[in-house]
Structure 1
Amino acid sequence: MRTYKRKTNRGSTSKDVIDRACQQVIFDKKSINSTAKQFAIPYKTLQRHVVNMTKKIEKNPELSKSESTLDSVGYKRNRQIFSDEEELALESYLKKAADIYYGLTPYETRKFAYEFAKKK
């Protein structure tokens, strides 16, 4: 597996910070621009999350301030098939096979991963 080195810090604002900023805008009636500057979040990003949280609150009006949080923030993994636990299990099996000199070729590894996904 290759190691990726991140080149920018885009999309790295934590979910907690975005939630607090959105709650200030929605519940405390602060402006998006001043809140974005206060939390060092891009204006458009905060605006998008405020709209999403407002829609979520409109769908379920009995949500309190502490219960209203966003589902996800930042970039998502592309086409993730396995959960983190399944990926670790597959990785440990492949490492164990390589340790006992039964290493699989890249083609065989992909084929094995496909069969593993079908079983799951």
Structure 2
Amino acid sequence: MPNIRKRKTDRGVPLPLLQRASNEVQEGKSVRAVAKSHDICHVTLYRFHKKRLRLESQGSKSPQRVGYWTPKKVFSTEQEILLRDYLMEAADLYYGLSSKEQTGFSHSPAYVSDYHPTFLSSSPPGCRSVASLQLLPIELRPMKPMMKLPMPVQPY
């Protein structure tokens, strides 16, 4: 589960607005004047324009997205939904799962698929993974088992 970053400002600028402002800078207007007319931070516009020029000189298109994004996301949204449903079903079958068992379940698909190496290197899941489970909604939080199921005895 990725770190959840709560936005503290409302200064995000949409990509089309930055592209229009960058076009005006390319026509010869000053960065500060264009930024003031579009109500954008001049540093944001300058960095975007510089990045756009660098990408265009390399033969690529302008940047497809701006601002912050989550590089630490391990599972896609669909995979998170499938994992949630699986954990809920397993919790119903086995009278609840401990937090350690839940993190183990969520960690195991990473070995099958090709996930980020830092996610795979933290085996078994540590305290940080368990702490991130506490941010889950109440219906998805780990429950304490109501009773212990007897383990089958295996002959030697």
TM-score normalised according to structure 1 size: 0.72
Larger helix percent: 1
- Residues 37 and 113 of structure 1, relative CA distance in 2, 3 Å threshold: same
* Structure 2 portions without partners, runs of 5+: 114-156
User: Pairwise CA RMSD of aligned residues?
Assistant: 2.6
Contact kept, 8 Å, 1:22 with 1:50, in 2: the verdict is yes
Identity %: 33
TM-superposed CA distance for 1:50, in Å, is 0.5
Would the alpha carbon gap of residues 15 and 101 (structure 1) be closer, same or farther in structure 2, given more than 3 Å must change?
farther
Deviations 1:43-75 (A, max 9, x none): 111101100000011111xx7xxxx43133111
Match of residue 32 from structure 1: 31
Does 2:8 match 1:7?
yes
Q: Specify every segment of 5 or more residues in structure 1 that has no aligned partner in the other structure, as ranges.
A: none
1:35 maps to amino acid: V
Quick check: 94-103 or 39-48, which moved more? 94-103
Report if the CA contact (8 A) 1:19-1:70 is conserved.
Answer: no
TM-score, structure 2 length as denominator? 0.58
Aligned residues of 1:94 and 1:103 also touching (Cα < 8 A): no
Deviation at 1:113, TM superposition (A): 1.4
Q: Which of these two proteins has the greater Rg computed from alpha carbons?
A: 2
**Alignment partner, residue 92 of structure 1:** 85
Deviation at 1:30, TM superposition (A): 2.4
CA distance in 2, matches of 1:91, 1:20: 42
- What residue in structure 1 maps to residue 112 of structure 2? 119
